Structure 1
Amino acid sequence: MFDFLENELKGIDIRVNEPLKKYTYTEVGGPADFLAFPRNRYELSRVVKYANHQGIDWMVLGNASNIIVRDGGIRGFVIMFDKLNTTTVDGYIIEAEAGANLIETTRVAKFHSLTGFEFACGIPGSVGGAVFMNAGAYGGEIAHILLSAQVLTKNGDVRTIDNRDMRFGYRRSAVQASGEVVISAKFALKPGDYTLISQEMARLTHLRELKQPLEHPSCGSVFKRPLGYFAGQLISEAGLKGHRIGGVEVSRKHAGFMVNVAGGTAQDYEDLIADVIEKVEAHSGVRLEPEVRIIGEKK
């Protein structure tokens, strides 16, 4: 039925009609028509160029940590970078492929006594997603340490973008608008003291474990921080901790998170997000803006 899997794309791990909830941090999401796991850039380029030639939509899902995939799933090719995950160190520079785990990458920096990456030691997801979103925590962000990124263009070609051309902002980068996909990144760090780096990472990890609901599936921080406010505090002050729709509720531990506590769906997430936005605005006059990406089709 799908001859191209045995011809043009033979040898590439591609799964047909694969439920995405098996791969998302929220444990929700309908099927992808074709879910591809390229082992290298050559396989990645083959998938993208084939899809372009055939007029088939394609997208990269990354590690699916700060994302909600709708219950109807995603048409065309969905590409995951799980196997594109190598990390190398050259002096004070770490280069990581997009599929590398961000937390593990900060541990590589620690092992080599390189400082500057500690802020990300508790941020779930991939290096590619972190660059895409300009991920940050505890006063640090990717924009502070990124040297350059290699990206895959819509045509399937590769080019390099320097930090100054990434147009970083709060949870924003140039690749969000261009449609290009980060495939690797170089981070410029500084020599540091192993013990001090370890202590700082332990401190930040402890803070994260105290504050964040790591015991349940979630999409991470749901809302951007409003100017002059904290989203979690506004939600809490509106009396919404524990507020639930379907199987998804506002975390009782940290109101900035929404957790899947009882087999929730993507629609539960969407409905709860919309309800929280409405109730917080009615209570405080502040309109929250989602940070989490919502993609795919409704069921």
Structure 2
Amino acid sequence: MKELAKQLQEMKIGTVKENEPLASHTTIKIGGPADLFIEPSTIDNLEKAMKVIREAGVKWTAIGRGSNLLVSDKGIEGVVIKLGAGLDHVEVVGNTVTVGAGASVVALAMTLSRKGLSGLEFASGIPGSVGGAVYMNAGAHGSDISKILEKAHILFEDGTMEWLNVEQMTFSYRTSVLQKERPGIVLEAVFNLQNGEVDTIKGVIKKNKDYRKDTQPWSSPCAGSIFRNPLPNYAGQLVEKAGLKGYSIGGAQISEMHGNFIVNTGNATAADVLALIDYVKKQIWDLYGIRMETEVEIIGKI
């Protein structure tokens, strides 16, 4: 790994670090080290890095802003690629917006609101990256990414890159083709938006942000929604109905504000969170006969 790190550093592809603690790169502040951590400064540099990584036969994993993510206490084997500051470009031409995967969804929603472009208001409180939002078809307030996406630039496991249109992404509830049928990561997205009144758009964004602030524990380290909603039921309501709000294992606690959030009270480990997830699954099954599936992505060494 040292030789690969040296090679990537010499190529000046961006940030390159060995044994980087991933707790620094997740919103729940949990995660062991990456054997090798890179944050490419451009898509071209990412492509160059991928060629070297493939030739070395090293496993790789991509992350964004670290929300909706739980990393093992043992860290992640191989190379962790962070799509961040180098891939956060935003280009607006008329009603069409091309944006890098590393861009903040919240910041993008605000940028578009000032331009009188409507369509992303639903995501104005989602503290993740555009790439992650497209990957999992993030949604809220009755809308989701599939409603506005035209196409996405994808890096596949074999290192090839391709643009997929919205039909090829085969979106469904919190799911896309990238999670199962064609594993890959989002590099860029093209959104089609509508013209709207600036003040109206900003008003909706403020309302959505205030709702999140009042009902969800984003002031504490957390990963976002832990479970998918087992429709027609809602995960948070089931957890609350079961009397589990506030229940804790180690440093991991089910939020007092929202039953579908687990917060890090200061010293939580991934093992604590996983044990709490398993406990909730068992309780909900025993009480209601409903299987709970995780929405948060769990990755890393076992």
Answer whether TM exceeds 0.5 for this pair: yes
Residue 114 of structure 1 aligns with which residue?
A: 117
Amino acid in structure 2 at the alignment position of 1:136: G
1:261 maps to which of 248, 251, 265: 265
* Residue 49 of structure 1: how far off its partner (Å): 1.3
**Map of 1:161-180 to 2, 5 A cutoff?**
161-177=164-180, 178-180=182-184
- Deviation of 1:284 after TM superposition, in Å, equals 1.7
Which has the larger displacement, 91-100 or 11-20?
Answer: 11-20
Q: Is the 8 A contact 1:218 1:257 kept in 2?
A: yes
Give SS of 2:133's match. Answer: helix
Q: Which runs of 4+ in 1 moved over 3 A?
A: 3-9
TM-score of the aligned structures, taking structure 2 as reference length? 0.96
1:213 to 213, 217, 222: 217
Letter in 2 for 1:130: A
Q: What are structure 1's unaligned runs of at least 5 residues?
A: none
Q: Which residue of 2 aligns with 1:64?
A: 66
Which residue of structure 2 lines up, in the alignment, with residue 92 of structure 1? 95
Aligned to 2:6: 6
Structure 1 distance, partners of 2:8, 2:220, is 41
1:284 match: 288
1:189 aligns with 2:208: no
> Residue deviations 1:108-157, cap 9 Å, x none?
11011011110000001100000000000000100000010011122323
Q: CA 1:210 to 1:7, structure 2 compared with 1: closer, same or farther past 3 Å? A: closer
Match of 2:20 among 18, 29, 38: 18
TM-score, length basis structure 1:
0.97
The answer as to whether partners of 1:9 and 1:46 remain within 8 angstroms in 2 is no
Offset, 1:9: 4.7
Structure 2 gap segments, 5+ residues each? none
1:131 corresponds, among 130, 134, 138, to 134
Contact 1:242 1:252 in 2 (8 A): yes
Code of the aligned partner of 1:5: A
In structure 1, distance between residues paired with 2:27 and 2:183: 23
Q: State the match for 1:273 in structure 2.
A: 277
* CA distance in 2: counterparts of 1:211 and 1:8, whole angstroms: 44
The size of the alignment, in residue pairs, is 298
Aligned amino acid, residue 48 of structure 2: R
Q: SS at 2:266's partner residue?
A: coil
Aligned-partner Cα distance in 2 for 1:38–1:78 = 11
Match of 1:80 in 2: 82
Contact 1:9 1:47 in 2 (8 A): no
